[in-house]
Amino acid sequence: MHHGRSVSRGIRRHGPGAAALAAAALAAGCRPSLPPVVAGASNGPVRVEVRLSTNAAPVGAVVRLQLRVDHPAGATVAFEEPGRSNEFRVRRADTLTTSARRGQTATERKWEIASFELGSHRVWTGEVTVITVSNEPWRVPLPELEVAIVPSVTNGDAALRPPPSPLDWPARVPPWVWALLVVPAGAAALAWAVAWWIRRRPPPPAPPPPPPDQAALDALERLRRSGAIEAGRSEYVYVELSRIMRHYVEDRFGLHAPERTTEEFLREAAESGRLTGEQRERMREFLVACDLVKFARAEPGPAEMRDALAAAERFVRETAPRREAPAP
């Protein structure tokens, strides 16, 4: 292995103070257009070339870096990535590419780096290591390139400028603007007040229920007009008659008629003394007739159904309480 190393470091078209001159130009408010910075080094069959897009940049600006290593075909190339310290940050790195030419292979890698620390910073340190297929190592130091990072705001850019003129507000708000604001708000407030007043008012009292006799007579009239008698629906007619009369007796005399059988009801009516003997007998005949239709499947005709309905009306009218006529 050859250990004699010839390292060439330089900046094309610029002397060693190029970075300082560029930094001074940036600080003075200029934006120089410098050619790329190129530096190279070699050792035996290995040559390393590094390119920088510039050697002076504002804080946070992107600097493009490219590394090219020419080495024997089939060799393995290893090097440190830039940005290992806090001085530079790698924003983008392109995939390693290789190409063969005259028995040599060119391995290339590109980065976009940026720094947020003022001053002159070394891009990287270390070396490129190439191991050939015969396990022979070749090492080439990385060229020592530096980038000057300067403030992004220069003296010219930092010159104070007069503040922008304030917006000219209209001298008075047009009436239609006030109308658009006030009218909907007033309508909403009025609606809320009305709703609150309605909720706060007690509900009107329910009308008193009709007297038991009037309720029974109204129900019997509805049954007469239902057409069930003309249709021959005897079971329906007698079930309704029984229900109407039992509720009437319960509401009028306080007897629990709806929940009792006919015999239980008649027994309670006799014990209470609230119905006369004649009234109890007529009620018994009426309820027995209803039970025959409901349970014995008797089928009375329309005339019998009308008679039963008329008998129920007479019983209600005869047992209704007497009301005094209003004074004239």
State residue 218's pLDDT score: 95
State residue 5's pLDDT score: 39
State residue 296's pLDDT score: 76
Q: Which of 150, 167, 187 is the last residue of a domain?
A: 150
State residue 12's pLDDT score: 39
46-52 and 63-72 strand pairing: antiparallel
The three-point CA angle 170-173-174 to 5° equals: 115
**Same domain? 230 vs 138:** no
Report the alpha-carbon distance of residue 80 to residue 125 in Å, rounded.
Answer: 8
Alpha-carbon distances, residue 166 vs 149, 163, 169, 217, 294 (angstroms): 38, 9, 9, 87, 95
The three-point CA angle 187-192-197 to 5° equals: 125
Give the neighbor-by-neighbor strand order of the sheet with 76-78: 76-78, 127-131, 137-141
Report the alpha-carbon distance of residue 115 to residue 119 in Å, rounded.
Answer: 10
Inside any domain, residue 173: no
Inside any domain, residue 109: yes
Inside any domain, residue 228: yes
Q: Which of 109, 131, 150 is the last residue of a domain?
A: 150
**Same domain? 131 vs 222:** no
Report the alpha-carbon distance of residue 41 to residue 68 in Å, rounded.
Answer: 11
Inside any domain, residue 142: yes
State residue 6's pLDDT score: 37
- Give every residue of the chain whose pLDDT is below 70, as ranges: 1-35, 83-86, 95, 100-101, 153-171, 201, 257-259, 323-328
**Same domain? 145 vs 25:** yes
**Same domain? 133 vs 249:** no
Q: Which of 98, 117, 150 is the last residue of a domain?
A: 150
Q: What domain range is 231 assigned to?
A: 212-319
Radius of gyration, alpha carbons of the chain: 57
pLDDT digits (tens, 9 = 90+) for 2-16: 333 333 343 334 444
Inside any domain, residue 165: no
Inside any domain, residue 111: yes
Inside any domain, residue 8: no
**Same domain? 143 vs 244:** no
Report the alpha-carbon distance of residue 43 to residue 147 in Å, rounded.
Answer: 25
**Same domain? 135 vs 32:** yes
Report the alpha-carbon distance of residue 6 to residue 104 in Å, rounded.
Answer: 19
Report the alpha-carbon distance of residue 171 to residue 75 in Å, rounded.
Answer: 81
**Same domain? 109 vs 36:** yes
pLDDT digits (tens, 9 = 90+) for 2-51: 333 333 343 334 444 555 555 555 554 444 445 677 777 888 888 888 88
**Same domain? 33 vs 141:** yes
Encoded tokens for 262: 């006919």
**Same domain? 218 vs 129:** no
How many whole angstroms from its chain centre is CA 221? Answer: 60
Only one residue has tokens 């007579």, namely: 217
**Same domain? 144 vs 229:** no
Smallest Cα–Cα separation from 286: which of 259, 264, 302, 266? 266
Inside any domain, residue 276: yes
Total structural domains within the chain: 2
Residue 73: give its domain's CATH number.
2.60.40.10
